[in-house]
Chains A and B, each alone.
Chain A
Amino acid sequence: MSTTAVPPMIQMTAVNKWFGVFHVLKNISIEVAKGERIVVCGPSGSGKSTMIRCINALEEHQSGRIVVNGTELARDLKKIDLVRREVGMVFQQFNLFPHLTVLENLCLAPVWVRKQPRAEAEANAMRYLERVRIPEQARKYPNQLSGGQQQRVAIARALCMNPSVMLFDEPTSALDPEMIKEVLDVMVELAEEGMTMVCVTHEMGFARSVANRVVFMDGGEIIEVQPPEAFFHAPKSERTKLFLSQILHH
């Protein structure tokens, strides 16, 4: 059906979602190609988190189709778990497991979900910790780390499952300014390696340098999808202009 030779990594078609009577997502349609980096932005409450949480079924959509790497998200729990293994997610609040050490946080899912041998999982985990530049913290507990370090552990934890897509939901909003860069650097590297990424973020510098396309949402709708250059310099919609003027110079 798709005209491109390579099927898209994520395909959302006319997705609608309601919280009770509140219509959070209205006819969301978007395709994300393999290796593409998408930045999603928009005012608070516009449904950005809800949208990316639909991609790994943390939220259930009520109509429309979501296909991730060839698997359609339906009510089938098996399929949901299948998709979740392929999709890594990084949360605003890190959500590390506080009762486990950093290394245990990283190895848990590979060992129990992917059934990797523990030694292999640990070696793999150490490699990812090196990539996010904190191998020396492996034996510590999450609460003994700074926010920036915790978020990097969270990224490494998601990467340990060897995902095809990474979702980021405002990964730097809970961080002190001096720690934002260390997390963004890791994300930029990841992008350079060709990871398919969907990032909800208000870091416009990151959007400019990394994104292939910027998605602007408001009131549960996708208002505008543009390459960053066009998005920042020639936004089409008035709402986008208003939003940009608010976040770029305040």
Chain B
Amino acid sequence: MTDAALPIAPPRTGPTAWLRTNLFGSWRNTLISLGSFALLVWAVPPLLDWFLFESRWGDTPPAECRKAAGACWAFVHEKHRLILFGRYPFAEQWRPLVGMAILLGLIGASCYRPFWRRWLLAVWAVGIAVMAVLMWGGVFGLRFVETTLWGGLPLTFLLTTVGVGAAFPLGVVLALGRRSKLPIIRAVSIGYIELVRGVPLVSLLFMASFMFPLFMPSGVQINALIRAQVAIILFAGAYLAEVVRGGLQAVPRGQIEAAAALGMGYWLTMRKIVLPQAIRLVIPGIVNSFISTFKDTSLVAIVSLSDLMLSTRQAIADPLWRPFFVEGYVFIGAIYLVFCFLMSRYSQHLEVQLNTGRRR
């Protein structure tokens, strides 16, 4: 109607204007921009040379690789089965591959909010059972494969998924316990959290592997994988408890009073009112814990479980390829990075999605 003759000049657009406002707005910005640019010029070309231009791919033999100035991706090419699947019998490696695909499929499906229904838990139970059958075998004509032979990426994913999946409820229960009115429950929760948080995961893993059997009646053997898994769950649970507690504290008292005034009991109030709000508030912290757990699984190498990290070391142990350990670590580093990045992005997405009710 009256948008003719606006007194304000339209904002300048285009690349020059963008550069001016964002990179060279003031002498200080200009200095930072130029410095960053110099750093890129100094660092990027050699990196590109190493990664791409001077690197060797395909089935270049190791002797040939040694002459190259760049990376020897031929190492990864040669050893990828060992790195990705560990010492799992070579001919049977389709089994962990399918198992891993099922696991990733389940995780992907669980990221989709309309699927957050009770049946999803059932689907998970079935999925995990199928994965276990595939990995273990011994039935349906599948060869039996001991857990000591499991390894690589499927093992890393399994330890992480089960670890996070079990640690989360444990953390919630501990967080509620820590805020309980009942002194014994509170004391036990605080004692547990402080004890476990005060110890490095490595020592928990050692304890689980070497001390646990001491408490067991002789003859009872608990599988090394399960012991490590339990240690991871106990450890991650303590950290998650503290994250969740932060959320619980941020839920206003009025919410609990309103629920009480409606005749809702403690568990119902927690389940329907307090926890949903508390958890939404601390999604970044929870995902941070999940990411830590994912990377922490690499520590199971010290109790001889050949997760992605140990299987890579086993690949490097080959005298022919020993010089190319950097390539090995870069490769698995990239794998860790991709999945951590995905988790982080999903957490941001979820935060936006779940906070619709909080938007003002």
Listed in ascending order, the chain A residues whose CB lies under 8 Å from chain B are 56, 58, 77, 81-82, 84-85, 87-89, 91, 93, 95-101, 108-109, 112-113, 141-144, 157-158, 161
Contacts and interface: CB of A to CB of B under 8 A. Distances in A.
Contacts of A142: 357
Contact of A99 (B257, B263, B265, B357): B357
B276 A99 contact: yes
Interface size class for chain B?
20 to 34
Contact of A81 (B265, B280, B358, B359): B265
Given A58-B261, A101-B357, 12 more contacts: A56-B261, A58-B257, A77-B265, A84-B260, A85-B262, A95-B257, A97-B259, A98-B277, A108-B272, A112-B264, A143-B360, A161-B263
B219 interface: no
Contacts of A88: 261
Given A84-B263, A142-B357, A112 B272 contact: yes
Interface of B: 252, 254-255, 257-265, 268, 272-273, 276-277, 280, 354, 356-360
Contacts of B358: 98-99, 143
| A-B pairs with lowest CB-CB distance, top 5 | A95-B258, A109-B262, A85-B263, A141-B357, A89-B261
Contacts of B260: 56, 58, 84
Given A108-B272, A142-B357, A143-B357, A99 B262 contact: no
Residue among B255, B258, B262, B360 with most chain A CB within 10 A? B262
Given A93-B254, A99-B277, A112-B272, A84 B262 contact: yes
B359 A143 contact: yes
B261 A87 contact: yes
Contacts of A158: 261-262
A85 B277 CA distance: 24
Contacts of A98: 277, 357-358
A28 B83 CA distance: 76
A113 B261 contact: no
30 contacts: A56-B260, A81-B263, A81-B265, A85-B263, A87-B261, A89-B258, A91-B261, A96-B258, A97-B255, A97-B259, A97-B277, A98-B277, A98-B357, A99-B354, A99-B357, A101-B357, A108-B262, A108-B264, A109-B264, A112-B264, A113-B262, A113-B263, A113-B268, A141-B356, A141-B357, A142-B357, A143-B357, A143-B360, A161-B262, A161-B263
B268 A112 contact: yes
Given A99-B280, A112-B272, A113-B268, A84 B357 contact: no
Contacts of A85: 262-263
B268 A95 contact: no
A99 B359 CA distance: 10
Contacts of A113: 262-264, 268
A97 B264 contact: no
A100 B257 contact: no
A97 B258 contact: yes
B356 to A, nearest CB: 6
Q: Which of A81, A91, A112 has the most CB of B within 10 A?
A: A112
Contacts of A100: 357
Nearest to A105: B258
Contacts of B280: 99
A108 B276 CA distance: 14
Contacts of A143: 357-360
Contacts of A93: 254
Q: Which of A99, A100, A112 has the most CB atoms of chain B within a 10 A radius of its CB?
A: A99
A141 B276 CA distance: 15
Contacts of A89: 258, 261
B252 to A, nearest CB: 8
Contacts of B277: 97-99
Given A58-B257, A99-B277, A109 B263 contact: yes
B360 to A, nearest CB: 6
